Amino acid sequence: MQKVIILLHLGKHKLTENLNYIVMNREFDIIIWGASGFTGRLVAEYLFKKYNSDSLKWAIAGRDESKLILVRENFLDNSIPIIIADSFDEKSLNDMTKRSSVICSTVGPYSKYGSLLVKSCVKSKTHYCDLAGEAQWIRKMIDLYHDEAKNNEVKIVNSCGYDSIPSDLGIYFIHKSLSKKNLKVSMRVSGAKGGLSGGTYASMQNIMEEASNNREVRKSLSNPYGLNPSGEQSGPDKRDLTSVVYDNNIKSWIAPFIMAGINTRIVRRSNALSNYKYGKDFKYDEAIMTGNGFKGKLRGTLISIPLIFLAAKPGSLFNKIFNFFTPNPGEGPNKKERENGYFNSKFFVFQEDSNTSIFKVTGDRDPGYGSTSKMLAESAVCLAKDDLKKTYGVLTPSYAMGDNILERLESNAGLSFKKIK
């Protein structure tokens, strides 16, 4: 009997080794899916400038070969392979995913175009990363594929851009620095500069449309712990801020932050996946810091106005006005705007002994595109090349990649994580 158990145990390890060998010895390390889009092209440019050598084998992929050829001619060179597939053609996706160790997806809204690709990656035992900020879709992917991805030893990593790496890795860094549980942390955006993201607004519009038509989606979106594992969807945090209020803890007016809805849930999922290393009474919220006095309140009110239009019912007058002034998907800031952009987020950590620590996460490019494209690219390289802890399933950036991605972000992607008080 003992011999049988030992043989089974050795067989399991042999199977794991074989799976790892297959993934590591594929034709490509990374395929950028959606490389003809605005963000996809920026990710491709970054890889070409930073990693275009024999050490990283990568390709660009999408539906339209002529657009991919233009990207290659204008921003890359002819050495970069092109792969053609379609978001709604499962066979073409399977043919693509089995050729690479990692699929890096920039094609959103993900609830419209991403589900079959995630399914294909799980089946093909291919790691995956994306920029998804659509909590309702991530919840669906968790329910459909988390267990299978875990069994197949696949990492499906959502939200690897401005939503939600600064928040997720910021809390990860704070926990590493303080090694304390059950902290109360308030993230406040203290500065940001960059152009509007057409893709982000398209995704948010899609969320609102789904929510207006589906009660279960509305219920999931309203739960602060909606991305936690089933049976663990409760805790001390309340719903995200929806109005301009004065924050006595930091002595400033604060306004709703449009990314809080996804960022806070990703952070809470990281806590749950890590067996609550932040503590079961850990509290976290996000907002924009707008300053003191009348000017601070006015600034907060002005910042909040677009949220009224964004929350308008699809097809309504407010919705049409909003769409008229926002960029289309695939449109974004020019090179000068991206390079002159930045973001600065402060994390106020309130401890039981009444001491308040302050941490800061900054980025050296505009958050929506310049920094986001670097964060996603480094996440893909991290999944493809680094020796990561053996955690699998539908994961968060910090839980999937931990110290490895933290180091890459600081060394290569222009992000900084610091304690300032």
Q: What is the pLDDT of residues 261-290, one digit of tens each?
A: 999 999 999 999 999 999 999 999 999 999
Q: Is the bond preceding residue 164 a cis peptide, omega within 30 degrees? A: yes
Let me know: does 128 contact 157? Beta carbons within 8 Å.
Answer: yes
* Model pLDDT, residue 212: 72
Could you report the per-residue pLDDT of 129-167, keeping only the tens digit for each? 999 999 999 999 999 999 999 999 999 999 999 999 999
**Which amino acid would we find at residue 30?**
I
**Which amino acid would we find at residue 29?**
D
Confidence of residue 52 (pLDDT cuts 50, 70, 90): confident
Confidence of residue 335 (pLDDT cuts 50, 70, 90): confident
133 bridge partner residues? none
How do strand 393-395 and strand 155-157 relate by DSSP bridges? Answer: parallel
**Which amino acid would we find at residue 177?**
S
Contacts of 352 (CB under 8 A, 6+ apart): 182
What distance in Å separates the CA atoms of residue 232 and residue 224, rounded to the nearest whole number?
A: 11
Torsion of CA 156, 162, 168, 174, to 10 degrees: 150
What distance in Å separates the CA atoms of residue 251 and residue 194, rounded to the nearest whole number?
A: 26
Confidence of residue 333 (pLDDT cuts 50, 70, 90): confident
Phi-psi region of 392 (alpha: psi -120 to 50; beta: other; left: phi over 0): beta
Structure tokens of 273? 């996946």
Let me know: does 399 contact 273? Beta carbons within 8 Å.
Answer: yes
What distance in Å separates the CA atoms of residue 201 and residue 30, rounded to the nearest whole number?
A: 27
What distance in Å separates the CA atoms of residue 315 and residue 312, rounded to the nearest whole number?
A: 8
What distance in Å separates the CA atoms of residue 197 and residue 326, rounded to the nearest whole number?
A: 8
Question: What is the average per-residue pLDDT within 56-77?
Answer: 96
Torsion of CA 128, 131, 135, 140, to 10 degrees: -30
* Model pLDDT, residue 327: 67
> What is the DSSP secondary structure assignment for residue 369, as one 8-state letter?
I
Confidence of residue 418 (pLDDT cuts 50, 70, 90): very high
- The helix (H) or strand (E) run that includes residue 211 is helix 198-213
Least Cα distance to 269 among 167, 359, 367, 191 occurs for 167
Does pLDDT of 18 surpass 60? no
Average pLDDT over the chain reads 89
Side-chain-facing half-sphere of 54: CA atoms under 13 Å: 0
Alpha carbon of residue 385 to chain centroid: 19
How do strand 252-255 and strand 283-291 relate by DSSP bridges? Answer: antiparallel
More confident residue, 308 or 216: 216
What percentage of the chain's residues is helix, strand, coil (to nearest 5)?
Answer: 50, 20, 30
Question: What is the average per-residue pLDDT within 377-402?
Answer: 98
* Model pLDDT, residue 3: 36
Contacts of 220 (CB under 8 A, 6+ apart): 135, 136, 139, 226
Does pLDDT of 20 surpass 70? no
- What is the pTM for the complete model shown? 0.91
What distance in Å separates the CA atoms of residue 25 and residue 22, rounded to the nearest whole number?
A: 5
Q: Into which CATH architecture does domain 2-161+370-414 fall?
A: 3-Layer(aba) Sandwich (3.40)
Does pLDDT of 201 surpass 80? no
Looking at the chain, the whole-number percentage of residues with pLDDT higher than 90 is 74
Could you report the per-residue pLDDT of 363-379, keeping only the tens digit for each? 999 998 999 999 999 99
Looking at the chain, the whole-number percentage of residues with pLDDT higher than 70 is 87
Could you report the per-residue pLDDT of 166-185, keeping only the tens digit for each? 999 999 999 999 989 999 99
Query: Nearest 5°: phi and psi at 95?
Result: -60, -35
* Model pLDDT, residue 337: 84
* Model pLDDT, residue 216: 78
In the chain, CATH 3.40.50.720 covers 2-161+370-414
Could you report the per-residue pLDDT of 80-111, keeping only the tens digit for each? 999 999 999 999 999 999 999 999 999 999 99
